[in-house]
Structure 1
Amino acid sequence: MRTSIILSVLLASLYKVSAVEKTSPFLAWSPQEFTVNKELNAQVISVEDLNNGVHNLVDCSHKAILVVDEPELHASDLGRDGRDRLKSQIQGAESSLQIPFVNGAVDLESLAERLSQKCHTTFVDATFADDVVSALNGPAIIYKKLTSESAEKNDEILDRAISQIRAMFQEDILVLYSSSQTKTFPVKHRLSARQLPEDPTATKQAGVFHHYTFFSQGIFMGLLIAVIIVPIAFVGIFWNLSVQQPQRFEKKQN
Structure 2
Amino acid sequence: MTRLAFLFSLLPVALAFSDTFPIVAWTSHSSNVLSRLPSTHSADLFKTILLDEEICVHDAVIVVDQPGLHASDLRSLPSNSHIARSLNASTSSRQYPYVRHDGYSSSGDLISFAQSVSERCNTRLVSLMPGYGHASLDAGEKAVVVVSLPELSVEGYARKSNMLKHDELLESTLSTLPYSQHLTIYSTSVLPTHHKRQSPDSPPVLDLPSTSVAPPKGGILARYQLLTPGLILVLLIVVGVLLPIIYFGIQALASIQSPVRMDAPKGFNAADKKNQ
Q: CA deviation at 1:32?
A: 0.9
**Which aligned pairs between 1:1-254 and structure 2 lie closer than 5 A?**
15=13, 17-36=14-33, 40-46=37-43, 49-57=44-52, 59-81=55-77, 84-104=81-101, 105-106=106-107, 107-127=109-129, 130-132=132-134, 134-137=135-138, 138-149=141-152, 150-165=162-177, 168-169=178-179, 171-185=180-194, 190=230
Q: What CA deviation, in whole Å up to 9, does each residue of 1:187-237 have, x standing for no partner?
A: 9x859x99xxxxxxxxxxxxxx8xxxxxxxxxxxxxxxxxxxxxxxxxxxx
Letter paired with 1:53:
T
CA distance in 2, matches of 1:65, 1:156: 20
Partner in structure 2 of residue 225 of structure 1: none
Q: Which residue identity lines up with residue 194 of structure 2 in the other structure?
A: F
Contact 1:32–1:93 under 8 Å retained in 2: yes
Give TM-score, length-normalised by structure 2: 0.56
Q: Aligned equivalents of 2:47 and 2:40: distance in 1?
A: 16
Question: Distance between the aligned counterparts of 2:77 and 2:188, measured in 1?
Answer: 19
| Large movers: runs of 4+ above 4 Å | 36-39, 128-132
Which amino acid in structure 2 is aligned with residue 50 of structure 1? L
Cα pair 2:22 2:188 within 8 Å, conserved = yes
Identity over the aligned pairs, expressed in percent? 28
Give the Å deviation of 1:177: 0.8
Q: Which amino acid aligns with 2:69?
A: L
Q: Is the 8 A contact 1:36 1:97 kept in 2?
A: no
Q: Structure 1 173/126 Cα, relative in aligned 2: closer, same or farther at 3 Å?
A: same
Checking the alignment, whether the CA contact within 8 Å between 2:21 and 2:188 is kept in structure 1 is yes
Could you tell me how far apart the structure 2 residues matched to 1:98 and 1:182 are?
A: 18
Listed one character per residue, the Cα deviations across residues 45-95 of structure 1 (whole Å, up to 9, x for unaligned) are 22xx12211203452111111100111111122111467221011101121
Q: Deviations over 1:88-121 (max 9, x none)?
A: 1110112101112111242221111100001110
Please say if residues 68 and 108 of structure 1, whose CA atoms lie closer than 8 Å, have aligned partners that are also in contact.
Answer: no
How many pairs are equivalent? 180
Report which of the two structures shows the higher radius of gyration computed on alpha carbons.
2
Q: Distance in 1 between matches of 2:56 and 2:195?
A: 41
Question: What is the distance in 1 between the residues matched to 2:56 and 2:72?
Answer: 31
**Post-superposition offset of 1:174:** 0.9
**Residue ranges of structure 1 left out of the alignment (5+ in a row):** 1-6, 195-208, 210-254
Q: Which residue of 2 aligns with 1:202?
A: none
CA distance, structure 1, for counterparts of residue 59 and residue 33 of structure 2: 19
Secondary structure of the 1:123 match is strand
TM-score normalised per structure 1? 0.60
